[in-house]
Amino acid sequence: MEQIVKAIEIWVPGARQPVLELGSAYYGDVGDFKRTGEAITFAYDQGLPGKTWASGRPIILPDIRSTDFQRTEAAMKANIVSGIALPFYSGEFLQAVAVLFFGGGRDVVGAMELWQTVRDSDTELRLVDGYYGDLDKFEWVSRRLTMKRGRGLPGSAWELGKPLIIEDLGQSGTFLRASHAEAAGITTGLAIPFDYTEPEVQILTLLSAKGTPIARRFEIWMPNEDRTRLQYDSGHCISGTDLALEYAGTAIIRGEGPLGQAWLTGRPSVVAIPAGEGQALIVLPIIKDASLASMVCLVL
């Protein structure tokens, strides 16, 4: 099974100087690219992580050859063609920047998109940019859409104010591009809202196909009512595992395991999976008003 996510890096503020240092990462089979990540730091407004830090919002690079990227040669050798950087803030203080890198190729199907509220509107989203590989028709349609609040995958996540997973996109009445998704082979979508630059809102959407899934599992976890535990909310598994049944009765406290540690620190992380389904677990804490709003997990 071809893996569309080639690498993930988590950049965290340095302990001794105001730069971003590599905190944790997943590199799969791109060893040369790994060496470039371990040997570099980013100052404020420098490189993709630094510019994301300065802007306070996600930044997407549909083409890794952009002048904003400093490791183009190593990325191209690793067949990395695009990337997106996601900032994680607690109030005005940066916790980390997560960068997801996508691979390309004729047999790679999938997309990532960044949507943002239309200027002077609190009811519409428009595509900032996206990476679609060879899905030319799906891209053409996407670039001409606006999404009303509460409509489509990004609009629904915006209305809910939390991450949203939609399965079987081709048959979904919620996904506005259902027929185009079915024709392209895209089956599952995950949308994550970011609102660090209010009143603007940015929505990341990851659109996954069965043959080249973005992740083996998407999971969303939420704090319980008294904020003492994390509980499973929703998810998708390409193997067909019933995640609600698997996690029935599971509750995670602060500091317990990768999810509990992310709740404790407010920082995303990448953790290797030594055995079982998948190679790495990516944990993304979604923070709102300086508190954990939800937790998104990807198993690669």
What pLDDT does residue 1 have?
Answer: 62
Give the tokens for residue 192: 């994550």
Q: Report pLDDT for 199.
A: 82
- Whole-model pTM: value is 0.94
Block residue for tokens 């803030």: 89
Type of residue at 284: L
pLDDT at 29: 84
Residue 290 DSSP one-character state: T
Q: How far apart are CA 139 and CA 134, in angstroms?
A: 9
Q: Are 197 and 57 in contact (CB under 8 A)?
A: yes
Q: What is the CATH number of domain 1-106?
A: 3.30.450.40
Centroid of chain to Cα 82: 13
Residue 166 has what pLDDT?
Answer: 95
Distance from C-alpha of 148 to C-alpha of 71, rounded to nearest angstrom: 37
Nearest to 232 by CA among 252, 215, 216, 212: 252
How many C-alpha atoms does 276 have within 13 Å on its Cβ side? 8
Nearest to 222 by CA among 151, 291, 298, 152: 291
Q: Which residues of the chain have pLDDT under 50?
A: none
H or E, element range at 58:
none
Lookup: tokens for 74: 């190593």
DSSP, residue by residue, 165-234: EE--GGG-SS-TTHHHHHHHTEEEEEEEEE-TTTT--EEEEEEEESSS-S-SEEEEEEE-TTSS-EEEEE
Lookup: tokens for 109? 């199907």
Question: 10 Å Cβ neighbour count for 148?
Answer: 14
